[in-house]
């Protein structure tokens, strides 16, 4: 995009310089020639007038009387009554000449070398070229500044859209004072909010449906197991057949839920947590330090989890921001492996979460510190989108736990570890 903008502006400058430069150069050359010829014509007219006066008084020509009007390097040739008189050095080839008529059918021809005029024309041409070069140079600088001014926000908007596609639903407050780009940013923020709410509603719906179906299936299985012990053989056989169908239905439900989680986590990949969390911490360390607090990361080497780098960065970022806004003391990020899952915890030394908020802390619009109450709900949606879950493990001190799935063995073989890059 930057190159296209730069090329477009430079092309406009080049066309403008070409369209204006040629007429300007031609006009400048003609102006120099007209000025030189006009000056020479004025001298020739003075000489012709003087010679006409001489002829009117004495019927003879005295060239010495007009010598003062002849340029130093000029040559005067007077033809009168068939007599030719000349004075001055030869002007060389292709001189600049002016010829006027005088009395008695005579002529006055004044010539000067054309070299000085051509030299002046060359100087003027050089000046025009210099002006064009300065114009092109100025246009190039303007093009570079304009290209960078436009390309930087366009790149930021593209990166914002890319992060949105990767599951980063956090609003971006940066604006560019460009109406169209600001409108795009507003649209992206609106879309991010809508997607976050959609993911959250999907999570809640899947959770509610799963809970209700499992509860009903469990109750049905218990009734069928009781019927399977019925003394009537036919009744017991039918109950066992129904119980088998209920068990198959439960297995299908588990498969559907697993498929739904896999579909949500399609962008997730095996991730080494120690470098990933250290990189996230580096983004926040200065902000934590500015409040006189410390940020510590305690993660063992080789701890692997399956997650989308952008979603993990934003979810942990929400928890760190929450610890800075509502907590006190040092902020600690730890990670450990626990029963087939990986747990990342973010805690601080503050007073913790009030009891009346603990049960609703992840609900949108719920906040204990005057904030919007969107961050934790969004963080939970991001983690859930990768097939994990986010919980408040302890209220005092506040400790949030992110449970991430462990990558499968076939996903780990033959891959090279990459940590998420720092966003621009």
- Shared-domain flag, residues 278 and 220: no
For residue 424, is it within any domain? no
Please, which residues bridge with residue 78 across strands? 85, 108
pTM of the full structure: 0.47
pLDDT of residue 419: 47
Q: Name the more confident of 68 and 343.
A: 343
pLDDT of residue 263: 55
Q: What is the mean pLDDT of residues 52-58?
A: 80
- Shared-domain flag, residues 184 and 300: no
Query: What is the percent of the chain where pLDDT is above 90?
Result: 18
Provide the pLDDT confidence category of residue 339 given band limits of 50, 70 and 90: confident
CATH number at residue 226: 1.10.287
302 close to 294: Cβ distance less than 8 angstroms? no
Q: What average pLDDT does the chain have?
A: 81
Q: What is the mean pLDDT of residues 355-374?
A: 65
For residue 335, is it within any domain? yes
Query: What is the percent of the chain where pLDDT is above 70?
Result: 87
Provide the pLDDT confidence category of residue 333 given band limits of 50, 70 and 90: very high
pLDDT of residue 414: 46
For residue 195, is it within any domain? yes
- Shared-domain flag, residues 298 and 321: yes
Residue 417 pLDDT greater than 50, yes or no: no
Domain that holds residue 382: 269-405
Q: What is the mean pLDDT of residues 40-48?
A: 90
- Shared-domain flag, residues 327 and 220: no
- Shared-domain flag, residues 189 and 290: no
- Shared-domain flag, residues 260 and 295: no
Residue 410 pLDDT greater than 60, yes or no: no
Q: Name the more confident of 264 and 51.
A: 51
For residue 314, is it within any domain? yes
- Shared-domain flag, residues 275 and 383: yes
Domain boundary among 221, 239, 265: 265
Instruction: Give tens-digit pLDDT for 134-186.
Output: 888 888 888 788 777 777 777 778 887 777 766 666 677 778 777 887 888 88
For residue 194, is it within any domain? yes
Task: List, in order, residues 6 or more apart from 312 with CB less than 8 Å away.
Answer: 271, 276, 280, 382, 386, 402, 404, 420
For residue 145, is it within any domain? no
**For residue 87, which of 97, 95, 77, 96 has the smallest C-alpha distance?**
77
pLDDT of residue 415: 46
- Shared-domain flag, residues 261 and 275: no
- Shared-domain flag, residues 234 and 357: no
pLDDT of residue 267: 63
For residue 154, is it within any domain? no
CATH number at residue 62: 3.30.450.250
For residue 361, is it within any domain? yes
Provide the pLDDT confidence category of residue 71 given band limits of 50, 70 and 90: confident
- Shared-domain flag, residues 301 and 400: yes
Domain boundary among 239, 265, 291: 265
Instruction: Give tens-digit pLDDT for 100-109.
Output: 888 777 898 9
Q: Name the more confident of 420 and 308.
A: 308
The number of distinct structural domains making up the chain is: 3
- Shared-domain flag, residues 21 and 70: yes
What are the CA-CA distances from residue 78 to residues 62, 101, 269, 275 (Å)? 10, 10, 101, 99
Please, which residues bridge with residue 270 across strands? 306
pLDDT of residue 170: 67
Q: Locate 267 and state its tokens.
A: 């962008």
Q: What is the mean pLDDT of residues 322-341?
A: 90
Instruction: Give tens-digit pLDDT for 223-261.
Output: 888 888 888 888 888 888 888 888 888 887 777 766 666
Task: List, in order, residues 6 or more apart from 291 with CB less than 8 Å away.
Answer: 324
What are the CA-CA distances from residue 155 to residues 140, 147, 150 (Å)? 21, 11, 9
392 close to 358: Cβ distance less than 8 angstroms? yes
CATH number at residue 335: 3.30.565.10
- Shared-domain flag, residues 225 and 310: no
Domain boundary among 98, 117, 136: 117
pLDDT of residue 41: 92
């Amino acid at each position: 995009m930057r190159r296209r903008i730069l090329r477009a502006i430079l092309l406009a400058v080049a066309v403008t310089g070409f369209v204006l430069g040629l007429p300007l150069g031609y006009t400048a050359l003609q102006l120099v020639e007209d000025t030189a010829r006009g000056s020479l014509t004025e001298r020739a007219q003075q000489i012709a007038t003087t010679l006409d006066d001489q002829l009117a008084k004495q019927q003879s020509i005295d060239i010495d009387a007009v010598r003062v009007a002849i340029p130093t390097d000029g040559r005067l040739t007077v033809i009168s009554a068939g007599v030719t008189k000349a004075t001055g050095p030869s002007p060389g080839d292709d001189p600049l000449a002016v010829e006027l008529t005088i009395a008695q059918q005579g002529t006055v021809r004044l010539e000067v070398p054309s070299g000085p005029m051509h030299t002046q024309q060359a100087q003027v041409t050089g000046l025009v070229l210099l002006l064009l070069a300065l114009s092109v140079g100025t246009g190039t600088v303007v093009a570079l500044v304009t290209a960078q001014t436009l390309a930087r926000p366009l790149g930021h908007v593209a990166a914002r859209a890319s992060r949105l596609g990767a599951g980063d639903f956090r609003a971006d407050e940066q604006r560019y004072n460009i109406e169209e780009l600001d409108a795009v940013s507003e649209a992206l923020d609106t879309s991010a909010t809508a997607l976050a709410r959609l993911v959250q509603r999907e999570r809640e719906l899947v959770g509610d449906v799963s809970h209700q179906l499992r509860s009903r299936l469990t109750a049905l299985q218990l009734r069928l197991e009781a019927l399977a012990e019925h003394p009537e053989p036919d009744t017991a056989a039918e109950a066992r057949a129904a119980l088998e169908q209920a068990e198959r239905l439960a297995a299908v439900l588990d498969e559907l839920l697993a498929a739904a989680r896999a579909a949500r986590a399609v962008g997730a990949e095996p991730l080494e947590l120690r470098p990933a969390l250290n990189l996230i911490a580096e983004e926040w360390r200065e902000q934590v330090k500015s409040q006189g607090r410390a940020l510590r990361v305690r993660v063992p080497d080789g701890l692997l989890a399956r997650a989308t780098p952008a979603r993990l960065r934003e979810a942990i970022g929400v928890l760190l921001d929450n610890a800075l806004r509502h907590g006190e003391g040092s902020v600690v990020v730890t990670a450990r492996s626990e029963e087939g899952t990986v747990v990342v915890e973010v805690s601080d030394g503050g007073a913790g979460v009030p009891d009346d908020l603990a049960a609703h802390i992840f609900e949108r619009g719920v906040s204990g510190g005057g904030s919007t109450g969107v961050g934790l709900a969004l963080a939970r949606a991001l983690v859930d989108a990768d097939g994990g879950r986010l919980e408040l493990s302890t209220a005092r001190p506040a400790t949030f736990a992110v449970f991430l799935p462990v990558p499968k063995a076939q996903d780990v073989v033959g891959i090279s570890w990459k940590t998420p890059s720092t966003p621009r």
